[in-house]
Structure 1
Amino acid sequence: MTLTQSRAAAQRKPSPDRLLDAPLGDLLAETGAEVIDSTIADAGFFGAVVQRKNGQLLLAMPTGRSELEHDTMARYLLAQVFDVDLPKLPAPFETTEL
């Protein structure tokens, strides 16, 4: 991540309250993130974040999941990307940074 990307990320970092309370569409717009459908069909896959070279965030989310799961995981992935201090999800959920 370049210094310019770091500054941009810091400017769009949501607060914990905003992350949990804002409508998901607003939160995605504010953070420069876009949700895309993932082709991964594994039941243990809940989503992934990819940052493009231009700084745009893509949240690759599995299809066919409940709205609650989709919303919760998108918010949690954003919290991980922006290092927002939230409690960890219970097992079996875990995040891995590559």
Structure 2
Amino acid sequence: MDAPLAELLAEFRVDVSELAIEDTTFTGGAYVRPDGTMLFAMRQGQPAAEREMIARAMLGRALRVPMPPLPDLYELTELEPLESSPA
């Protein structure tokens, strides 16, 4: 996890989409696709240090790699997929 971020994202098949979100409290979101690839949604204009920290934290969480805690200002929330009900 110490490699440059671009290399990590390529190695673990992570696509990054920049969203025009004005809410500065939105720092990112991740979706793990059924094939194991990932999509990270990040805010356009986000400070580079914040983007680096959040992307690494999301990747670590998705890969179940122990990571140092985020600063108090930040929090990762993991959502479980809804199960389909029988038709």
TM-score w.r.t. length of structure 2: 0.79
1:19-34 residue pairs with structure 2 within 5 A?
19=1, 21-34=2-15
1:84 is the counterpart of 2:65: yes
Normalized per residue, which structure has more helix? 1
Q: Report the CA distance between 1:41 and its aligned residue.
A: 2.7
1:36 is the counterpart of 2:10: no
Q: Which amino acid aligns with 1:46?
A: T
Unpaired stretches in structure 1, ≥5 consecutive residues: 1-18
Percent of residue pairs identical: 39
CA distance in 2, matches of 1:66, 1:58: 19
Instruction: Tell me the SS of whatever aligns to 1:37.
Output: strand
CA distance in 1, matches of 2:52, 2:19: 15
- Which structure 1 residue ranges, 4+ long, deviate > 6 Å from structure 2? none
Selected match of 1:74 from 33, 37, 55: 55
Partner of residue 60, structure 1:
41
Which protein shows a greater Rg?
Answer: 2
CA distance in 1, matches of 2:56, 2:67: 10
Unpaired stretches in structure 2, ≥5 consecutive residues: 80-87
RMSD: 1.4
Q: Report the CA distance between 1:24 and its aligned residue.
A: 1.1
Q: Which amino acid aligns with 2:54?
A: M
Partner of residue 85, structure 2:
none
TM-score w.r.t. length of structure 1: 0.72
CA distance in 1, matches of 2:12, 2:53: 16
CA distance in 1, matches of 2:36, 2:20: 23
